[in-house]
Structure 1
C-alpha cells in the first residue's frame, strides 16, 4: 500500500517537474518593445503594454502551470537601441519572445536578432512587407497590418474614386519606402500614375517645403507615406496651404484611431483610411474597447488590439505545444487558427504573415459622431486574401513554390 502511494507521489512530482521544465526558467516572459516617447507613442506606446497585460490576464495569468510575465521598454525609434535591448532581454533576462516593435527599421533589426537567437518575435506595430518577404524568419510573425494591406485599402479606394495621379510625401526609412512602393504599384496596376515623391526625416516638424513640392506637382492625390505625429503635422500644415481647398486630396496611408483623436474630427473629417480593427465595429469589439478605455483612457487602435491578439495566440500556442521551446511554439503558431476580438478566422501563412480581414474606414463629420471616440464609418471589409500579398509571391524563402 505504502509502495503504491510512494509511486503515485513520485509520478505526480515527476509530472510537476516536467511541466516546469517545459516552461524555461519556471516562467514565460514576453517583452513589449516600442516607441513610448516619440512620434509613435500614441500609435502604440505604453497602451500596447496594457493590451499585452490584458491578454495575459484573460488567459489566466499562467501557462503550463507557470506565471506569465510581461516587460516593456522604449526603443526611441532607433534600431541600435532596440538591438541592444533585445540582446540583453534574450541573453540575460530570460525573455522568451519580443512583440509590438513599432518602426520598420527596428522590427527588421530585432527580427534578425530573434532569428539568430532562435526566439519568436511577433510584429504588430511595424508595417514593412519585408518582414514576411526577403527578410522573413521561421520564428518571425507579422500580425496586425502591413504596407500592402494599406495600399489595397486606402490607395484602392481613392483610385476608384478618380484619384488616378499621385505624389508621395514619404518618411525617409524602411516603412516609408515600403508604403510608397506598395501604394504606387497598386495605383499603377489600376491605371493611375505616380508623378513624383519627396522624402522627409522621421519626426519632422516643418513640412512646408515638402508640401509645396506636392502642391506644385498637380497630382490629384498627395499620399502621406508616414505615420503618427508626422502624418498629423502634415495634415495640419496642408490645411494652412489650402491644399484640399485647391482641389487636391490627402491620402493618410497609415492613420489610426489614436491619430484621429489627436487631430480632432474638425481637421480629420472625410479622410479615408484602413485599419485592421475598429472598437465600435460590433458588440464584442465595443466590449473590449470599453475595458481597454478603463485602463488607458483611450480606445484601442489596430496596434493595441493586434498586440492583445498576438500575446493571446502565443500563449495558446505554448499551451498546445506543451512547451515554450521555440521550434514547437512556432509550429503551433503556424497551425492554429486565430479567432479572437481582433481577428476572425485568421490564418498564419508559411512566411509568418497572419492573414485576416482589414477595414476601409472614413472619418465622420463632427455632427455624425454619436459618442466619444465614435469616429469612423466602415465603408468596406477587405478580405484577407485581397489585403495581403500571396505568400508565394512574397519573396520569402520559407514558402515552397
Structure 2
C-alpha cells in the first residue's frame, strides 16, 4: 500500500471514530443524568387559579397560593434539579375569564398544571381546556359532581369535597334527628344547583320532603326577600346551598329575621372554618357542617396549620388544605416518574394512594375522585371554645367510600 492510500485509510478510520463517539455520546447522554432532562421547558410551572377578591377569597384566594407554595417548599422548590414555579391569577368567578387565563397559561406561558379554581362554572370551563391541551387539573375549590361525572377528564383530579359529599352527609344527620321538611336558598349557578340537587335526593331517599326553594344570584348582599319565603314555607330546615361570603350573609340575616329563634334549623351545606370565624360563635353555634379537614384533628394537622398561619395570620380552610395536598401529590408523582408528561404523571397519581397530613391511604378513582374521609362537625357554643379557631366538635367520621358517589355510578365515560 502506498503512502497516499495509507493516509486515505487512516482518514476514513478517524472520521468513523468521531461519528461513533458522537453517536455514543447522544445515547449515553439520553440514558444518564437526573430526570430533569425529561422535564419540559426546564421548569415545573403550577398555576393557582382562584378567587382573589370575591366571595370565595377567604376560603381559597391567596391562602390557596400559600398552600401550593408550602407543598413546593417540601421538595426544596425543585424536582430532580428542575425548579418549581408557582403563578397566581384571579378568575373573578367568571367562566370566560377562567377559560381565557387557562388558555394563556398553557399556550403562551408553559404552565404544566392548574390548581384550585373555586366556582364550578369556572372549573367546568377549565376542565374542557386542560382535557384538550393535556394538562393536569387539580381541583380543590369547585364542587359540582359533573366534574368527576359526565364532564370528567383523564387529567382532572377532584380533591377536597363535592356537592354530594358535603350535602348528603349533612342531610343524613339532620333527617336522622327528625328534621325532615326542607326549603332551599340556592346560589344560582352550577355549584348551587348541584348542591341543592344532591341534598334533595338524600332527603327524599330518607323519607323527607322538599317544600320549595329560591334561586339567588351570586354575591348577593340582601337576602331578606328570600329568607321571608323560607320562613313562610314552614319547613323545619332552611338549607343554604351557597358558600363563602354568600353563606356568611345569609346566616347573619337569617338570625336577624329570627329563623333559628322560631324553631327552624339552618343548614349550611358548604361551611368552612373561615365562615365560622367571620360569623362568630354566638351566631354560628349549633350549626351542623361537613368538611374534609379541620386544623385541630391531630398533631399533623396542627403542625401544618401552624406553618400556614405563620404566613397568613389565620387557620386554613379545607379548600386551602386540599390545594396543599393535591400539589404535593402531583409533585411526588413527577419525582417518581422522572417527567412532567401529563399522561405518565396522571397514571402515577391514580396508582398512588394519597398520604399526607390531610388524608391517609385515600384512593383515587378512574374518574379523578379522591376518596378521602368526610367529617361531620357541630359548631361549639361560646362556652365550649378554648379560644380563637377552636370552633368545631367532631360528631362522625364518614369513610370516603361512603361519603362520595361510587365511581361506577358517577357517569364518567372513563369508567367502564
Indicate yes or no: 2:324 matched with 1:291: no
User: Cα distance, 1:320 vs. partner?
Assistant: 1.7
Q: Corresponding residue for 1:199?
A: 215
> Would the aligned equivalents of 1:165 and 1:195 in 2 still touch at CA under 8 Å?
yes
Runs of 4+ in 1 over 4 A off after TM superposition: 6-18
Any idea what SS the aligned residue of 2:286 has? coil
CA distance in 2, matches of 1:26, 1:177: 42
Indicate yes or no: 2:51 matched with 1:50: no
The one of 166, 171, 175 equivalent to 1:159 is: 175
1:191-211 C-alpha deviation (Å, 9 max, x unpaired) = 101111100000000101100
Alignment of 1:311-350 (within 5 A): 311-350=327-366
> Would the aligned equivalents of 1:64 and 1:323 in 2 still touch at CA under 8 Å?
no
User: Cα distance, 1:263 vs. partner?
Assistant: 1.0
> Would the aligned equivalents of 1:132 and 1:142 in 2 still touch at CA under 8 Å?
yes
The one of 396, 404, 408 equivalent to 1:388 is: 404
Any idea what SS the aligned residue of 2:141 has? coil
CA distance in 1, matches of 2:24, 2:134: 37
Normalised by the length of structure 1, the TM-score is 0.96
Indicate yes or no: 2:297 matched with 1:281: yes
Which has the larger Rg?
A: 2
Q: Corresponding residue for 2:277?
A: 261
CA distance in 2, matches of 1:344, 1:18: 30
CA distance in 2, matches of 1:279, 1:15: 45
Task: Give the alignment's Cα RMSD to 1 decimal.
Answer: 1.8
Distance change in 2, residues 1:16/1:369 (3 Å):
farther
User: Cα distance, 1:89 vs. partner?
Assistant: 0.2
Distance change in 2, residues 1:53/1:12 (3 Å):
farther
Q: How many residues align?
A: 397
CA distance in 1, matches of 2:378, 2:28: 58
Q: Corresponding residue for 1:103?
A: 119
Indicate yes or no: 2:267 matched with 1:248: no
Indicate yes or no: 2:105 matched with 1:89: yes
Indicate yes or no: 2:134 matched with 1:115: no
> Would the aligned equivalents of 2:34 and 2:81 in 1 still touch at CA under 8 Å?
no
> Would the aligned equivalents of 2:180 and 2:207 in 1 still touch at CA under 8 Å?
yes
> Would the aligned equivalents of 2:164 and 2:195 in 1 still touch at CA under 8 Å?
yes
Unpaired segments ≥5 residues, structure 1:
none
User: Cα distance, 1:243 vs. partner?
Assistant: 0.6
> Would the aligned equivalents of 1:136 and 1:396 in 2 still touch at CA under 8 Å?
yes
CA distance in 2, matches of 1:119, 1:28: 12
User: Cα distance, 1:161 vs. partner?
Assistant: 1.2
Distance change in 2, residues 1:99/1:164 (3 Å):
same
CA distance in 2, matches of 1:188, 1:97: 39
> Would the aligned equivalents of 1:347 and 1:356 in 2 still touch at CA under 8 Å?
yes
> Would the aligned equivalents of 2:167 and 2:270 in 1 still touch at CA under 8 Å?
no
User: Cα distance, 1:152 vs. partner?
Assistant: 2.2
Deviates more, 1:146-155 or 1:272-281: 146-155
1:120-156 C-alpha deviation (Å, 9 max, x unpaired) = 1010001110000000011111000001101222111
1:28-74 C-alpha deviation (Å, 9 max, x unpaired) = 00000010100111011100000000000012211132010110001
CA distance in 2, matches of 1:14, 1:398: 34
Deviates more, 1:173-182 or 1:368-377: 368-377
Alignment of 1:60-99 (within 5 A): 60-99=76-115
CA distance in 2, matches of 1:264, 1:127: 25
CA distance in 1, matches of 2:314, 2:218: 25
CA distance in 1, matches of 2:351, 2:153: 16
> Would the aligned equivalents of 1:343 and 1:357 in 2 still touch at CA under 8 Å?
yes
> Would the aligned equivalents of 1:23 and 1:64 in 2 still touch at CA under 8 Å?
no
1:320-345 C-alpha deviation (Å, 9 max, x unpaired) = 22210011011011101100011111
